[in-house]
Chain A
């Protein structure tokens, strides 16, 4: 491990259990999907924010264990909640039980998660350390049998990370494709991701993590499924899906950002 905490002494973040920034020598990294408080049967755990938060971190612990790592090695967390007061009242304390060290962190209040009753979703980036030598570039795995079209963990062994800007349904001339048309925007966004990946020497199978921001999960679901299946052809990344009230232009219905890795 070669982790460095940046500005570790700054009191603002330490009071809240995170770090302004963390740097690592990126030999082996784990990206998790955004996980929520679902039980093994897929149903959301009862009892609101506290139990949902505890269950979310228990499930993340399972994903970390499969990669033989633990919360102390998390370098970045992203916490999405739909109810900030509930998170402050009972979610934050649950989180604190799992973390010893302080990762870099971003916290957001969003409009909706995959299920309207979900109050919290958390995704992590973890420094696994060790040598990448001899291992496949990407190891994608599930810690649970969830049936969804994503992997719960993707390990990147060496290689070069590729960060794409959030892709929207814009044409090369700057106009918006598929105004008001969810299916057309889904096609255009994945088409644009494909173009950028190709330009970087990558393919859809190179994608490690996908974050999808939509104005309506209800409308997005049916529009995206066939388009996304055709794009990934079974080789899905870790993913997160979040509903938010707006994107950079009012015509945009969806924005997808991806992180990929190439040798």
Chain B
């Protein structure tokens, strides 16, 4: 991968993500916040966080593949959810999708996303 991983014993992640990543080459890819849309533009899993999270990570993977990479190329993701109670379902979906360690990560609970039916949005930065 065209980036390296930074870790330090003084500051530790609170879950299975990386503390920091440093780009060492390749192209820098900025990915829009992905929501639970299918290819036709329908919302997948209305009211169902597990289903939405799975769709979001599949969409993220699709964008990465179109750029010549895959989930392993992600340096950083930011996950925005609308209800903290949904976090366990998100964590479950993330560990299903990501083989091994996650990228550097931020999790934020926002007031809402850009459509009231969206429960989760994930944006990413990658080196490909």
Contact = CB atoms under 8 A, between A and B. Distances in A.
A245 interface: yes
Contact of B111 (A160, A198, A245): A245
How many of chain A's residues touch chain B, expressed as a range? 35 or more
Given A23-B67, A108-B110, A174-B12, A6 B29 contact: yes
Contacts of A161: 22-23, 28
Contacts of B112: 84, 109
Interface residues of B, number: 54
Interface in B48-87: 62-64, 66-67, 75-76, 78, 80, 84, 87
A28 to B, nearest CB: 12
A234 interface: no
Contact of A105 (B8, B13, B32, B110): B32
B31 interface: yes
Nearest to A252: B14
A147 interface: no
A19 B31 CA distance: 8
Contacts, number: 177
Given A107-B113, A165-B105, A13 B17 contact: no
Contacts of B10: 172, 192, 195
A247 B107 contact: yes
A159 to B, nearest CB: 9
Given A109-B111, A199-B20, A257-B106, A20 B31 contact: yes
Given A108-B80, A200-B6, A192 B11 contact: yes
A193 B8 CA distance: 11
Interface in A4-30: 4, 6-7, 11-13, 18-26, 29
A75 interface: yes
Nearest to B8: A199
A22 B32 CA distance: 8
Contacts of A19: 32
B11 A109 contact: no
Interface string B86-128: 0100000000000000001111111111100000010101001
A6 B34 CA distance: 13
Given A106-B32, A109-B113, A249-B14, A200 B108 contact: no
Contacts of B18: 165
Nearest to A161: B23
Contacts of A174: 12, 14
A224 interface: no
A89 interface: no
A89 to B, nearest CB: 14
B115 to A, nearest CB: 9
Contact of B28 (A6, A26, A170, A262): A26
B72 to A, nearest CB: 15
B47 interface: no
B97 to A, nearest CB: 18
Interface of A: 4, 6-7, 11-13, 18-26, 29, 75-76, 82, 84, 103-111, 125, 160-168, 170, 172, 174, 191-193, 195-196, 198-200, 213, 244-250, 255, 257, 262
19 contacts: A6-B31, A11-B41, A26-B23, A75-B30, A107-B113, A107-B114, A108-B80, A108-B110, A160-B24, A164-B20, A164-B104, A165-B106, A192-B10, A196-B8, A199-B6, A199-B8, A213-B108, A244-B109, A246-B108
